[in-house]
A = this chain, B = another copy of it.
Amino acid sequence: MARPRKTEARDTRREILDRSLELFAERGFSGSSMRDLARAVGVRESALYHHFPNKKAILEAILAENGPGQVNAVLSNELEAMVEALGPRQFLETFGELVVQLWATPRERQVVRLLMAEWPRLAAAGVFDLQAQLARIRARLTRLFEHLGSRGVIRPLDAEATALRFMGPMLLIRLVHLADLSRPPDLTAMRRDLALHLDGFWESVRPAAAPTRRRRP
């Protein structure tokens, strides 16, 4: 048989992308051959070339699906409104849980691994610029903390420093708890670390409990 019957037809393009992301994440782009990919999908190499012109095109299609738009989904334009609606303390709680939901999926974990390994080459090829992405996230958080500081929701600290100190531990937590694909993630431990971070963060930015103004000379 050459072409499969309709009943046994699959969305091969879809499967190529999914299996390729799995393999690229586990073994790296150069560590996965077209032969490996074909075997994982269950077709011949030539079938891959029917759907994509070459290996690089598969990687680019994966990143087009899972790249920029997805990566910073946490940072919507409505953060300010959310803080307003929930209050800062409750907001942080919600934010933490959101992060668990968005980051702990198998696909997100695979994408992060792939980016960790390949980002300098992806940036050089103009496919995905992780450094710029991090700068954008930082700028967004800086804006948020400036806003909250000016409203008195948090103390009027240096907003850029606050953004750095908010992001850093989030990144570390993501790396420690979600980047190792060889084991299922321990979400309990992850939530514990998130709570440690967010509680401590809140303590360090919240306005003085009683707003007693000290006079200065």
Q: Residues on A close to B: CB < 8 A?
A: 26-31, 113, 116-118, 120-121, 123-124, 131, 134-135, 157-158, 160-162, 164-165, 167-173, 175-176, 179-182, 193, 196-197, 199-201, 203-204
Contact = CB atoms under 8 A, between A and B. Distances in A.
A121 B196 CA distance: 30
How many copies of this protein are present in the complex?
2
A183 to B, nearest CB: 10
Contacts of A203: 157, 204
B27 A176 contact: no
Contacts of A161: 196-197, 199-200
Question: Which of A27, A117, A167 is the most central at the interface, judged by chain B CB atoms within 10 Å of its CB?
Answer: A117
A200 B158 contact: yes
A164 B170 CA distance: 9
The list of the 5 closest CB pairs from A to B, nearest first, reads: A168-B169, A168-B168, A204-B204, A30-B31, A161-B196
Given A131-B180, A158-B196, A171-B172, 16 more contacts: A28-B28, A28-B29, A28-B31, A30-B30, A30-B31, A124-B182, A134-B176, A160-B196, A161-B199, A164-B197, A165-B204, A167-B169, A168-B168, A168-B173, A171-B171, A204-B204
A27 to B, nearest CB: 7
A165 B116 contact: no
Contacts of A175: 134, 171
